[in-house]
Protein backbone atom coordinates (compact mmCIF):
# COMPACT_ATOMS: atom_id res chain seq x y z
CA UNK A 1 0.00 0.00 0.00
CA UNK A 2 1.22 3.55 -0.65
CA UNK A 3 2.49 5.35 2.43
CA UNK A 4 0.08 7.73 4.14
CA UNK A 5 2.41 9.96 6.10
CA UNK A 6 1.58 13.36 7.53
CA UNK A 7 4.77 14.79 6.06
CA UNK A 8 3.97 13.78 2.47
CA UNK A 9 5.09 16.61 0.18
CA UNK A 10 2.63 18.78 -1.69
CA UNK A 11 2.74 21.90 -3.80
CA UNK A 12 1.42 25.00 -2.08
CA UNK A 13 -0.86 25.91 -4.97
CA UNK A 14 -3.71 26.56 -2.55
CA UNK A 15 -2.99 29.77 -0.70
CA UNK A 16 -2.33 29.37 3.03
CA UNK A 17 -4.93 30.50 5.55
CA UNK A 18 -4.58 31.79 9.09
CA UNK A 19 -1.13 33.30 8.50
CA UNK A 20 -1.72 36.84 7.20
CA UNK A 21 1.69 37.85 8.52
CA UNK A 22 3.29 35.72 5.80
CA UNK A 23 1.46 37.34 2.90
CA UNK A 24 3.77 39.36 0.66
CA UNK A 25 2.74 42.76 -0.59
CA UNK A 26 2.65 43.32 -4.34
CA UNK A 27 4.12 46.60 -5.66
CA UNK A 28 1.53 48.90 -7.23
CA UNK A 29 3.42 51.14 -9.64
CA UNK A 30 2.12 52.85 -12.77
CA UNK A 31 5.49 52.16 -14.39
CA UNK A 32 9.05 51.23 -13.43
CA UNK A 33 11.42 54.13 -12.70
CA UNK A 34 14.23 52.37 -14.60
CA UNK A 35 14.61 49.44 -17.01
CA UNK A 36 15.13 47.19 -13.97
CA UNK A 37 13.82 47.65 -10.44
CA UNK A 38 15.29 45.39 -7.75
CA UNK A 39 13.47 44.23 -4.63
CA UNK A 40 15.19 42.45 -1.73
CA UNK A 41 13.11 40.65 0.90
CA UNK A 42 13.81 38.44 3.91
CA UNK A 43 10.88 36.03 4.00
CA UNK A 44 9.70 33.49 6.59
CA UNK A 45 8.84 29.93 5.60
CA UNK A 46 5.50 29.77 3.85
CA UNK A 47 5.44 33.39 2.67
CA UNK A 48 3.11 33.80 -0.30
CA UNK A 49 1.55 36.34 -2.59
CA UNK A 50 -2.04 36.21 -3.78
CA UNK A 51 -2.66 35.79 -7.49
CA UNK A 52 -1.65 38.94 -9.33
CA UNK A 53 -0.08 40.21 -12.53
CA UNK A 54 1.85 43.32 -13.48
CA UNK A 55 2.77 45.19 -16.67
CA UNK A 56 6.43 44.23 -16.38
CA UNK A 57 8.35 40.97 -16.34
CA UNK A 58 9.68 39.52 -13.09
CA UNK A 59 12.65 37.33 -12.24
CA UNK A 60 12.31 35.68 -8.82
CA UNK A 61 15.47 34.21 -7.25
CA UNK A 62 15.77 32.80 -3.72
CA UNK A 63 19.22 32.20 -2.27
CA UNK A 64 17.84 29.47 -0.02
CA UNK A 65 14.67 27.40 0.18
CA UNK A 66 12.58 26.34 -2.81
CA UNK A 67 10.55 28.90 -4.70
CA UNK A 68 7.22 27.97 -6.26
CA UNK A 69 5.39 29.98 -8.92
CA UNK A 70 1.93 28.75 -9.90
CA UNK A 71 -0.03 29.74 -13.01
CA UNK A 72 -3.05 28.28 -14.76
CA UNK A 73 -0.63 26.58 -17.17
CA UNK A 74 1.47 24.79 -14.57
CA UNK A 75 3.84 24.78 -11.60
CA UNK A 76 7.33 26.31 -11.86
CA UNK A 77 9.74 25.23 -9.11
CA UNK A 78 13.14 26.82 -8.46
CA UNK A 79 15.58 25.14 -6.05
CA UNK A 80 19.03 26.71 -5.46
CA UNK A 81 20.80 28.17 -8.49
CA UNK A 82 17.56 28.53 -10.44
CA UNK A 83 15.08 31.37 -10.83
CA UNK A 84 11.58 31.75 -12.24
CA UNK A 85 10.86 34.21 -15.05
CA UNK A 86 7.27 35.49 -15.24
CA UNK A 87 6.39 37.57 -18.33
CA UNK A 88 4.31 40.74 -18.15
CA UNK A 89 0.56 40.32 -17.73
CA UNK A 90 0.59 36.69 -16.57
CA UNK A 91 -1.52 35.98 -13.42
CA UNK A 92 0.54 34.01 -10.90
CA UNK A 93 1.02 33.20 -7.23
CA UNK A 94 4.38 32.86 -5.48
CA UNK A 95 5.24 30.68 -2.45
CA UNK A 96 8.57 30.00 -0.76
CA UNK A 97 8.64 26.77 1.22
CA UNK A 98 11.46 27.70 3.59
CA UNK A 99 13.05 30.88 4.95
CA UNK A 100 14.36 32.80 1.97
CA UNK A 101 16.41 35.80 0.98
CA UNK A 102 14.36 36.78 -2.05
CA UNK A 103 15.75 38.82 -4.92
CA UNK A 104 13.13 40.01 -7.38
CA UNK A 105 14.02 41.89 -10.54
CA UNK A 106 11.19 43.73 -12.27
CA UNK A 107 12.06 44.20 -15.94
CA UNK A 108 10.29 46.79 -18.08
CA UNK A 109 8.44 45.24 -21.00
CA UNK A 110 8.60 44.69 -23.88
CA UNK A 111 12.09 44.06 -25.11
CA UNK A 112 15.42 43.00 -23.61
CA UNK A 113 15.17 39.63 -25.35
CA UNK A 114 13.41 37.96 -22.43
CA UNK A 115 11.12 34.93 -22.97
CA UNK A 116 7.42 35.46 -23.61
CA UNK A 117 6.42 32.50 -21.42
CA UNK A 118 6.86 31.52 -17.79
CA UNK A 119 9.89 29.30 -17.25
CA UNK A 120 12.61 28.28 -14.81
CA UNK A 121 16.12 29.49 -15.69
CA UNK A 122 19.55 28.18 -14.74
CA UNK A 123 21.48 30.76 -12.71
CA UNK A 124 25.20 30.31 -13.26
CA UNK A 125 27.81 31.94 -10.98
CA UNK A 126 28.21 35.01 -13.21
CA UNK A 127 24.47 35.62 -13.41
CA UNK A 128 24.08 35.12 -9.66
CA UNK A 129 26.71 37.77 -8.93
CA UNK A 130 25.11 40.14 -11.44
CA UNK A 131 21.73 39.71 -9.74
CA UNK A 132 23.25 40.46 -6.35
CA UNK A 133 25.15 43.47 -7.71
CA UNK A 134 22.09 44.99 -9.39
CA UNK A 135 20.06 44.44 -6.23
CA UNK A 136 22.60 46.63 -4.42
CA UNK A 137 22.09 49.58 -6.82
CA UNK A 138 19.95 52.58 -5.85
CA UNK A 139 16.43 52.60 -7.24
CA UNK A 140 17.23 55.59 -9.47
CA UNK A 141 20.58 54.32 -10.71
CA UNK A 142 22.49 56.26 -13.37
CA UNK A 143 21.27 54.76 -16.63
CA UNK A 144 23.94 56.56 -18.67
CA UNK A 145 26.86 55.53 -16.45
CA UNK A 146 28.51 52.42 -15.07
CA UNK A 147 25.38 51.37 -13.20
CA UNK A 148 23.32 51.41 -16.38
CA UNK A 149 25.98 49.37 -18.19
CA UNK A 150 25.95 46.82 -15.37
CA UNK A 151 22.18 46.47 -15.71
CA UNK A 152 22.54 45.97 -19.47
CA UNK A 153 25.07 43.18 -18.93
CA UNK A 154 22.60 41.54 -16.54
CA UNK A 155 19.82 41.76 -19.12
CA UNK A 156 22.07 40.33 -21.83
CA UNK A 157 23.01 37.39 -19.60
CA UNK A 158 19.39 36.76 -18.57
CA UNK A 159 18.31 36.64 -22.20
CA UNK A 160 20.87 33.87 -22.76
CA UNK A 161 20.12 31.87 -19.59
CA UNK A 162 19.36 28.21 -20.18
CA UNK A 163 15.91 26.88 -19.28
CA UNK A 164 15.81 24.31 -16.50
CA UNK A 165 13.62 21.19 -16.42
CA UNK A 166 11.74 22.40 -13.35
CA UNK A 167 8.28 23.06 -14.78
CA UNK A 168 5.23 20.84 -14.54
CA UNK A 169 2.67 21.74 -17.24
CA UNK A 170 -0.98 21.21 -16.40
CA UNK A 171 -3.65 19.88 -18.78
CA UNK A 172 -6.81 21.82 -19.52
CA UNK A 173 -9.23 18.87 -19.50
CA UNK A 174 -11.18 18.93 -16.21
CA UNK A 175 -10.98 15.16 -15.81
CA UNK A 176 -7.22 15.19 -16.17
CA UNK A 177 -6.98 18.10 -13.73
CA UNK A 178 -8.79 15.96 -11.15
CA UNK A 179 -6.25 13.22 -11.76
CA UNK A 180 -3.35 15.67 -11.41
CA UNK A 181 -4.74 17.01 -8.12
CA UNK A 182 -5.10 13.47 -6.76
CA UNK A 183 -1.54 12.56 -7.72
CA UNK A 184 -0.24 15.77 -6.19
CA UNK A 185 -2.03 14.99 -2.92
CA UNK A 186 -0.67 11.44 -2.86
CA UNK A 187 2.36 11.13 -5.18
CA UNK A 188 3.12 7.59 -3.99
CA UNK A 189 -0.24 6.26 -5.23
CA UNK A 190 0.58 3.13 -7.26
CA UNK A 191 -2.62 2.79 -9.26
CA UNK A 192 -2.20 1.98 -12.95
CA UNK A 193 -3.28 4.37 -15.70
CA UNK A 194 -6.10 1.96 -16.49
CA UNK A 195 -7.26 2.33 -12.89
CA UNK A 196 -7.00 6.13 -13.04
CA UNK A 197 -8.88 6.19 -16.36
CA UNK A 198 -11.76 4.29 -14.79
CA UNK A 199 -11.65 6.62 -11.76
CA UNK A 200 -12.12 9.78 -13.85
CA UNK A 201 -14.50 8.28 -16.43
CA UNK A 202 -12.31 8.10 -19.51
CA UNK A 203 -10.67 5.35 -21.54
CA UNK A 204 -7.00 4.64 -20.91
CA UNK A 205 -6.24 5.38 -24.57
CA UNK A 206 -7.92 8.80 -24.35
CA UNK A 207 -6.14 9.55 -21.06
CA UNK A 208 -2.73 8.92 -22.61
CA UNK A 209 -3.58 10.84 -25.80
CA UNK A 210 -4.97 13.90 -24.01
CA UNK A 211 -2.12 14.00 -21.51
CA UNK A 212 0.43 14.02 -24.31
CA UNK A 213 -1.46 16.63 -26.32
CA UNK A 214 -2.11 19.04 -23.44
CA UNK A 215 1.12 18.79 -21.44
CA UNK A 216 3.70 17.59 -23.95
CA UNK A 217 4.52 14.73 -21.59
CA UNK A 218 3.42 11.11 -21.47
CA UNK A 219 1.50 10.33 -18.25
CA UNK A 220 4.39 8.31 -16.83
CA UNK A 221 6.91 11.10 -17.49
CA UNK A 222 4.52 13.66 -15.98
CA UNK A 223 4.04 11.62 -12.80
CA UNK A 224 7.80 11.06 -12.47
CA UNK A 225 8.50 14.78 -12.75
CA UNK A 226 5.71 15.56 -10.27
CA UNK A 227 7.21 13.20 -7.70
CA UNK A 228 10.71 14.61 -8.14
CA UNK A 229 9.60 18.25 -8.02
CA UNK A 230 7.55 17.58 -4.88
CA UNK A 231 10.67 16.07 -3.33
CA UNK A 232 12.65 19.32 -3.67
CA UNK A 233 11.14 21.11 -0.67
CA UNK A 234 11.68 18.33 1.91
CA UNK A 235 15.19 17.78 0.56
CA UNK A 236 15.94 21.48 0.91
CA UNK A 237 14.65 21.33 4.49
CA UNK A 238 17.18 18.59 5.27
CA UNK A 239 14.92 15.52 5.22
CA UNK A 240 16.67 12.20 4.67
CA UNK A 241 16.72 10.94 1.10
CA UNK A 242 15.37 7.53 2.15
CA UNK A 243 12.22 9.03 3.67
CA UNK A 244 11.68 11.43 0.77
CA UNK A 245 12.09 8.54 -1.66
CA UNK A 246 9.41 6.52 0.16
CA UNK A 247 6.99 9.46 0.24
CA UNK A 248 7.61 9.98 -3.47
CA UNK A 249 6.65 6.44 -4.40
CA UNK A 250 10.12 4.93 -4.84
CA UNK A 251 11.03 1.57 -3.37
CA UNK A 252 14.55 2.61 -2.42
CA UNK A 253 16.80 5.63 -2.04
CA UNK A 254 19.03 4.39 -4.86
CA UNK A 255 16.09 4.19 -7.30
CA UNK A 256 15.06 7.71 -6.29
CA UNK A 257 18.58 9.11 -6.74
CA UNK A 258 18.86 7.45 -10.16
CA UNK A 259 15.57 9.00 -11.30
CA UNK A 260 16.50 12.38 -9.77
CA UNK A 261 19.86 12.43 -11.54
CA UNK A 262 18.32 11.43 -14.87
CA UNK A 263 15.70 14.21 -14.62
CA UNK A 264 17.81 17.07 -13.27
CA UNK A 265 21.39 16.16 -14.19
CA UNK A 266 22.63 16.21 -10.57
CA UNK A 267 22.10 14.13 -7.44
CA UNK A 268 20.07 15.50 -4.51
CA UNK A 269 23.30 16.02 -2.54
CA UNK A 270 24.81 18.04 -5.38
CA UNK A 271 21.71 20.19 -5.83
CA UNK A 272 21.46 21.10 -2.16
CA UNK A 273 25.15 21.26 -1.29
CA UNK A 274 26.02 24.25 0.89
CA UNK A 275 26.86 27.25 -1.30
Give every CB contact of residue 150 below 8 A, 6+ residues apart in sequence: 130, 133, 134, 137
Beta strands 167-169 and 74-78: pairing type? Answer: antiparallel
Query: What pLDDT digit, counting tens, does each position of 31-50 carry?
Result: 899 999 999 988 888 888 88
CATH of 20-160, one of 3.40.50.1370, 2.30.110.10, 2.60.120.280, 3.40.50.300: 2.60.120.280
pLDDT band at 11 (very low <50, low <70, confident <90, very high): low
pLDDT at position 97 over 90: no
Q: Name the average pLDDT for the chain.
A: 88
pLDDT band at 28 (very low <50, low <70, confident <90, very high): confident
What are the domain boundaries of the chain? 20-160, 170-271
pLDDT at position 26: 80
Burial of 78 (0-12, 13-18, 19+ CB in 10 A): buried
CATH of 170-271, one of 3.30.70.890, 2.40.50.460, 1.10.10.60, 3.40.718.10: 1.10.10.60
Can you tell me the mean pLDDT for 97-116?
Answer: 86
Amino acid sequence: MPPNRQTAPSFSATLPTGRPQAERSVPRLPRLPRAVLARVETLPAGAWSAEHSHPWGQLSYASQGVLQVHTAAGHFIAPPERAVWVPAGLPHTVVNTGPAEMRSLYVASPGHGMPGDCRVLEIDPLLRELILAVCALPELYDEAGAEGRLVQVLLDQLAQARPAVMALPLPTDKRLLRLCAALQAQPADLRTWAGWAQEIGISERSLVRLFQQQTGLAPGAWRRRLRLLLALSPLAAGDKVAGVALDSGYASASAFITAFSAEFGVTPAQMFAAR
